[in-house]
Amino acid sequence: MLNRRDFLKSAGALATTSVFGQSSAYADASQARPTSAPGRTVVSLNKGWRFHEGDIAFPVIRGHGWTYANAKAGNASGAAAPGFDDSEWNSVTLPHDFASAQVPEQSANVAQGYRKRGIGWYRTLIRLDEADHGKHIELQLDGMATLGTVWFNGTQVAHTWSGYSSVYIDLTPFATYGDALNSLVVRVDADTMQGWWYEGAGIYRNTWLVKREQVHIATDGVFAHPVFADGQWTIPLEVTLYNIRKSAQRVQVESVLVDAAGKTVASFGAPADVGVLTRQVVTGSMRVAAPELWSLEERNLYSVRTRVLQDGRLLDEVTTRCGFRTQRFDPELGFFLNDRHVKLQGVCIHQDHAGVGVAVPYGLLDYRMRRLKELGVNAIRCSHNAQDKRFYELCDELGFLVMDENRVFNPSPEHVEELSWLVRCHRNHPSIILWSVFNEEPIQGTEQGREMVRRMVAAVRALDTSRPTTAAMNTGQFEPANAAQAVDVVGFNYQYQAYDAFHQAFPTVPMTSSEDVSAYQTRGAYVTDPEKHIFASYDDDASSWGTTHRVGWKAVAERPFVAGAFVWTGFDYHGEPSPHEWPSNSSFFGIMDLCGFAKDAFWLHQAQWRKEPVLRLAPHWNWAGKEGQPITVMALHNMDEVEVFLNGRSQGRQKGDIYEMNRWQVRYAPGKLSAVGYRGGKVVKRFEVETTGAPVALKLTPDRSLMRGDGLDAQPIQVEALDAQGRHVPLAQHQIVFKAEGGDIIGLGNGDPNDTSSEKGNTRALFNGLAQVIVQTREGSAGTFRLSASAAGLKSAVLDVEVRKAQPWAYQPTSAPVQVLDGWRSSPQSPTPVDPNLRPAGTDMNSWGWITPGARAKPAGQTGYMLYATDVYPFARVRKQGGILEFAEVTGPCQVFIDGRKAGEKTTGAPAPLRVAFPAGEARARLSVLCPLTAGQPHGLSGVVRLLSF
């Protein structure tokens, strides 16, 4: 029974006022991360990465010794090697979209917003504490664009095949602890495309390390979605356990259902035997009497707390949120939630935003979701891929119904695993009502298409039978063999003329629009100009395959058997500037622009989707030079009647048409254009717009007046120009320069699809009166974040936002680049001192041994000498400036030689560190350590050896 308000309260929310006049709040955005609990530690791995844009070719491997070594575990070469020199790479913090920093270039791909993408390399060094030894260590990467290869300590541990799925990697068998650092390397290939829209590039979602006991609950391992059957609510439970111990383990699994007040309302317990290195699924159920239902109005959420115990000791604990609701698609009447009819007033979305590309901070995501709420949206289609995990939580909290969608249409095992992940990861969210297996596949109207879908639907049903499956089809539903035959609800992309024919032919098959409209608007523009790539906002311009907003909604609204609409799209997105190309680089389809600013389609849909009175007029009333000429005035409303006035003189009262909307031709004269809306003959709403004067000043308006000083919180700030009377000037296009103090500007936008300037930096032009700056706090900050804006000829604006000290996420310690020296060989023991220049023959795999410094020193069998040697290729910084050779621990005496010259020595026998100066200017050096041995005395390189830069 955790509703949004209580949830925010419990999460330490900051109550604020939004620019849009509505009170809003923003939680600490902590939910989407897997949270720590007794038995498990979860730390963010977003910090401490080094990044290289562009590919780094793997070396061509030659010669017997190198080829032999190359074939071995742990010996990845090139930039994947633990010892690769990344000392001069840039430091980055994730989420990171390196394409968003690209300025559009005409030679790049129009579909991807003319941003160059390419290959990127990320490297970090992780220090795992001795206390982590014996734990299960899992790396979680929540999203990389597009394909990824991951190496841990020189071993390739994953290939990822989707730019939209999480990947969970068990690092335990490869991990080292204490001072021996662990090398983690990720190569992302963003040349590969899985969409025809802007997909970003890099590790663009969060990354985590999850440290658990050896017997624990697997990731996404609790399924607790309530079902209602035979008049009774039940939570069928599935808990997946995993055991990496060396023997089977008996444990006790206990789940309790907790309401918002913290009261336990149901419980379950069962013993389980978990085999060695196997997954064990424990099933059970909890009956629940009269729970508070989750609905769009009342987002009552419960928690299922699942614990694993052994002999009374708590091994693991996971809290899973769930909601009680029923759902049904009726072939005659559409969709029902809790047996109440809900027409789906949906939008399709992509995941990017102005200024930041696909690396959208949670504060900005929260803003986007609230904008959709204001619009009157009650359903969202994740077109055409999984969104960030936080998105689904916000849908549960704010009250949206979700059509979740798989990206790659392919039933082969690798890709089916992506679909299975999607369902496993999201299936506890009460907001999800549909699983979509594809969007618009050319083979959808064939037997092959149907057979592929059958297999993918089977994969969904193996994990969740409580929601129907669908596929978003733009043709093929009438073919003798087609994909629609293999899903539960048939999705129609466009083809609104076929709704009736399909329903008549298949009256028992539920259907919904899965995508519609694809109309074009440019925010704040009222004259279509194909030369300039501008679309007017009267809803008269639509794609050849789509409809206007008005026609699209009417076709759905008047047909009860069509469950709802999913308008293409809620927001503009980078890429796909259809029907135009360069310089257009983002879409024209959005109900809102790339910044979330309303186009007139916003008021049109708000009028159609919200019950309360809505009345707006298009256009603005600044038409200097058009005096006396007719201007089309359109009322966007849900009134019985609307009357329009110019400077107090009626321009006519019209019967309201809530589908088509109403228009007047008004001869322009500066002044006040106003409208009065009637319901049942009574005035219920008024609207007015005035001719403004010239702009004189700038104004900055935050989304929230309070931010968290955790280095994570981000928000959009609206920029506009005002006239002398403080009125918004709709046509201002000034170039603005910004300055941030006490925080950072992380992106800029203005909603103009034709603007090719950078979305990074500190300057952006207003577009039709508006621009947006996305700002982020710094970790550990408190006090004031100040943004200043200035433009030639206008009074500057200064905005202060209060920043409160806030707990940052817990981060995994990482290390600056250090060169761990490896590849050590040990000479055969000799009665006389070994020449430090001696090296084994290239083919010698036997008389000289291999050693990894750090192993415990062993007593020598006989008195004599031994040489340890390796080749050192110093990192660039050491080559330039010189450095320090650091032996973390040497046992016994030794002499250190660099290229045969003595560089240092240790004379004592007890284990101790040793530091030796390393000269600049060496591209390759032979490092040798000569150890005199005394029978029975321990000796050797008992600690790691590193080369540090100054």
Q: Which residues pair with 699 in a beta bridge?
A: 720
Phi-psi region at 256: left, alpha or beta (left = phi > 0; alpha = psi -120 to 50): beta
Q: Which of residues 547-576 bind ligand GAL (CB under 6 A)?
A: 568, 576
Give the start-end residues of each E strand in 703-743. Answer: 706-709, 714-723, 735-741
CA dist 862 and 216 (Å) reads 48
Cβ-based nearer residue to ligand GAL, 3 or 587: 587
Report angle CA 224, 228, 229 to the nearest 5 degrees: 125
Query: Residue 871: which residues within 8 A CB-CB, separation 6 or more?
Result: 823, 924, 925, 926, 927
Q: Which of residues 824-883 bind ligand GAL (CB under 6 A)?
A: none
Map residues 175-204 to x or -, x wherever contact with ligand GAL holds by CB under 6 A: ---------------------x--------
CA dist 852 and 824 (Å) reads 7
Cβ-based nearer residue to ligand GAL, 473 or 890: 473
Q: How far is the CB of 409 from ligand GAL (least distance, A)?
A: 12
**Of the candidates 720, 716, 717, which has an alpha carbon nearest to the alpha carbon of residue 699?**
720
Q: How far is the CB of 610 from ligand GAL (least distance, A)?
A: 25
Cβ-based nearer residue to ligand GAL, 388 or 440: 440
CA dist 832 and 341 (Å) reads 92
CA dist 343 and 358 (Å) reads 30
**Of the candidates 521, 301, 529, which has an alpha carbon nearest to the alpha carbon of residue 399?**
301
Cβ-based nearer residue to ligand GAL, 255 or 569: 569
Q: How far is the CB of 514 from ligand GAL (least distance, A)?
A: 9
Q: Which two tokens stand for residue 926?
A: 């032979």
Q: What is the DSSP string of 577-595?
A: -TT--TT--B-S--SB-TT
Cβ-based nearer residue to ligand GAL, 295 or 578: 578
Q: How far is the CB of 159 from ligand GAL (least distance, A)?
A: 26
Q: Which residues pair with 202 in a beta bridge?
A: 145
Q: Which two tokens stand for residue 628?
A: 């006396």
Cβ-based nearer residue to ligand GAL, 234 or 475: 475
Q: How far is the CB of 373 from ligand GAL (least distance, A)?
A: 23
Report angle CA 54, 57, 61 to the nearest 5 degrees: 170
Q: Say whether residue 515 binds ligand GAL (CB under 6 A).
A: yes
Q: Is 611 exposed, middle or buried (0-12, 13-18, 19+ CB in 10 A)?
A: exposed
CA dist 694 and 158 (Å) reads 59
How long a stretch of residues is the chain? 950
Q: How far is the CB of 46 from ligand GAL (least distance, A)?
A: 30
Cβ-based nearer residue to ligand GAL, 377 or 634: 377
CA dist 839 and 867 (Å) reads 9
Q: Which of residues 721-780 bind ligand GAL (CB under 6 A)?
A: none
Cβ-based nearer residue to ligand GAL, 540 or 779: 540
Q: How far is the CB of 351 from ligand GAL (least distance, A)?
A: 13
Which of 112, 439, 477, 585 is the binder for ligand GAL (CB under 6 A)?
A: 439
Cβ-based nearer residue to ligand GAL, 377 or 799: 377
**Of the candidates 733, 697, 731, 727, which has an alpha carbon nearest to the alpha carbon of residue 619?**
731
Q: How far is the CB of 267 from ligand GAL (least distance, A)?
A: 46
Q: What is the DSSP letter of 538?
A: S
Q: Which of residues 478-507 bind ligand GAL (CB under 6 A)?
A: 493
Cβ-based nearer residue to ligand GAL, 177 or 196: 196
Q: How many residues bind ligand GAL (CB under 6 A)?
A: 12
List Cα–Cα distances, 630 to 304, 627, 691, in angstroms: 63, 8, 16
Cβ-based nearer residue to ligand GAL, 42 or 422: 422
Q: How far is the CB of 545 from ligand GAL (least distance, A)?
A: 7
Nearest residue to ligand GAL on Cβ basis: 518
- Which stretches of the chain bind ligand GAL, using CB under 6 A? 196, 439-440, 474, 493, 515, 518, 543, 546, 568, 576, 578
